[in-house]
A and B are shown apart, each in its own frame.
Chain A
Amino acid sequence: MEVILAILIGVLYAAGIYMMVRRSLVKLLIGLILLGNGANMLIFLLGRITKGSPPVIPEDARVFAEVYADPIPQALILTAIVISFGLQAFAIILLKQVYIVNASDDLDDLNPIEEEI
């Protein structure tokens, strides 16, 4: 399970960075989304995967009897998902506006050279 997840995270990061360095605006956004998901999976993996033992204390006990799944990574991922959702919503609107203003999906058409100097 860990190996599969590790490969998946590697693929997500690699694909995300590859998409970000492309020239298209939409691919930039897709890259950011993939990277964000990769980071979330990484938190999930590094928080140790414990199968079938939810962090719930039985009614008759006061402490956990055995190893339990760490609930914190899930709280972190949830926070990160909500934040990245908001940011991506903003980024989509911004990209749409860029497309309206610039009539181009190509990053090289932003700030032409005469304006740069």
Chain B
Amino acid sequence: MTDNHIVLPVITHLFTAVVLIFFWKKTRISRIISVVANSILVISSFVLFTRTWNAGVFTMQAGNWPAPFGITFVADVFSSTMVLLTSLSGMAVSMYSAVGVSKARMKFGYFPLLHFLLMGLNGAFLTGDIFNLYVWFEIIIISSFVLMTLGGRKPQIEGGIKYVAANLMASVIFLTGIAILYGLTGSLNMADLSRKVALIPNRHLINITALLFLVGFGIKSAVFPLFLWLPSSYHTPPSAIAAVFGGLLTKVGVYALLRVFTLIFVPDDFIAFTLMAVATATLLTGAFGAIIQKDIRRILSYLIVCHVGYMVAGLGLFTETALTGSLFYLIHDIMVKTNLFLVSGLIYKIKGTIKLEQAGSLYAAYPKLSLLMALVLFSMVGVPPLSGFWPKIYLFQAAFAAHSYTVIGAIIVASFFTLYITAKLWAEVFWKDAPTGVARHSDLYNRMNHYGKALLVTPVILLAIVTLYIGLGAENIARVSVHIAQELMDPSPYINAVLGEVVLEP
């Protein structure tokens, strides 16, 4: 079905960003516009989600050029779920930024950049054209470059270099893959590519091209061994920015992997083996990396790496159950990781440090807030019935069915280490007595007025409620995941919606 409203999430962010540029120095108005725009987006993306859920795949042909000649935008349940999750995170981050980000940063265009970043994310989720996906990736990285280095403190700049170099490299490799794919098929439309790539007899050439895409997206989604840029840069920007990065930027890489490796390159034995090996190594290195860190944000950075492994493992197993696990984890992970970085920002506001040895006694000072944070932490670990528990069941089931015992082992080890790290965080930050001898830090959170406190805590509560729903209403989320997994396993409705029922002869 053709429906031009599906690009609304992109257009709204673009419009908001442009309006915000006109209020460059007026921080108060900027904050209000940003929060209002994000609320509108939450509603409109929820509408988009219910419509795709009920009616199937919607498409839009840019400039009314028929596919595969023009640029196509496609909203299936997968895309619209991702857009909905982006809007929820965007909403939370925008509220949190209203007090969590310094005025100086706001005056240098923080809010317009945030909206450009969210626009790029929504565009990447909605596009049905591989080169257009590249362009959206570039929009995402250039706004994230500026957001990461905004402020220009020494660690930020140093982290920024690694981030910029790795991401530019990823873009070039992705572009090389696109060039070869275009040379092979003469098409850029993903649905059209799906048909044409399947007809090419030289499978080795296809596998090499697929590997280029795997490396390009792998750098962006921070899988082993391409993740090293992430832990050395994600701890540097302010928490609100790190929350968008941690929650969404690596996940757009995972989205691209899931999309491209189910629609265009259907994994054969070689690709499936590579994906599983990569996933196993990612799970283990992420977990081992996280246990030696002594800084909350660095721990979280390594946990992002570790948990990307679950999603890639599901893709490598490539059965409907496995993909259901991946998608469930993706939905859960976006909410929880965004929230955890917001929580780390709250801890920083209260204690003035995010180093484990200097923090402590948070539970004694703020029992209610601590319990809220504990809920988020335990959701990440997946203590039943919280949200991280359910996707692992699907992954286990799929891995047992495929007799991939290495993957099962890696999942168990990674989950165990995540539990250990969470316990360590809880003990060090919340329970232990605050160490003496450290310079006393004035509690910035306590000195805020009620309005400021509310703006900091509400987004955390909001995301925690969504996480609780993912855990307690797992049945519904599982239904969505199963639906998306079926879409990915059998892409013919997607292809037919884009190209029409007629099979084009190559």
Contact = CB atoms under 8 A, between A and B. Distances in A.
B176 interface: yes
Interface in B395-417: none
A38 B141 CA distance: 21
B154 interface: yes
Interface stretch (A52-60, A61-69, A94-102): A94-102
A48 B184 CA distance: 10
Contacts of A91: 164, 168
Contacts of B145: 87, 90, 94
A32 B141 CA distance: 15
A24 interface: no
A107 B232 CA distance: 13
B179 A39 contact: yes
Nearest to B183: A46
A86 B142 contact: yes
A35 B161 contact: no
Contacts of B159: 111
Contacts of B232: 111, 116
A90 B146 contact: yes
A100 to B, nearest CB: 9
Contacts of A94: 145, 149, 157, 160-161, 164
Interface in B136-183: 138, 141-142, 145-146, 149, 152, 154-155, 157-162, 164-165, 168-169, 171-172, 175-176, 178-180, 182-183
A39 B175 contact: yes
Contacts of B154: 101-102
Given A35-B169, A47-B183, A97-B152, A83 B161 contact: no
Interface string B46-81: 000000000000000000000000000000000000
A80 interface: yes
Nearest to A80: B175
Interface in A65-107: 70, 72-73, 76, 79-80, 83, 86-87, 90-91, 94-95, 97-98, 101-102, 107
A76 B168 contact: no
Interface residues of B, number: 34
B33 interface: no
Given A36-B172, A39-B175, A39-B176, A111 B158 contact: yes
Contact of A43 (B155, B168, B179): B179
B135 interface: yes
B179 A98 contact: no
Contact of B142 (A36, A90, A107, A110): A90
B168 A32 contact: yes
Nearest to B233: A111
A38 B145 CA distance: 23
Output the residue of B134, B149, B159, B165 with the most chain A CB within 10 A.
B165
Contacts of A32: 165, 168-169, 172
Given A43-B182, A87-B142, A91-B168, A25 B161 contact: yes
B131 interface: yes
Contacts of A83: 135, 138
Nearest to B176: A39
A45 B142 CA distance: 27
Nearest to B292: A117
A79 B183 contact: no
Nearest to A25: B161
Contacts of B138: 83, 87
A98 B142 CA distance: 18
Contacts of B152: 97, 101
B162 to A, nearest CB: 8
24 contacts: A16-B172, A20-B165, A32-B169, A36-B172, A38-B172, A39-B172, A42-B179, A43-B175, A43-B179, A47-B183, A70-B186, A79-B135, A87-B141, A90-B145, A90-B164, A91-B164, A94-B164, A98-B158, A101-B152, A110-B158, A111-B155, A111-B158, A111-B159, A116-B232
Interface of A: 16, 20, 25, 28, 32, 35-36, 38-39, 42-43, 45-48, 70, 72-73, 76, 79-80, 83, 86-87, 90-91, 94-95, 97-98, 101-102, 107, 110-111, 115-116
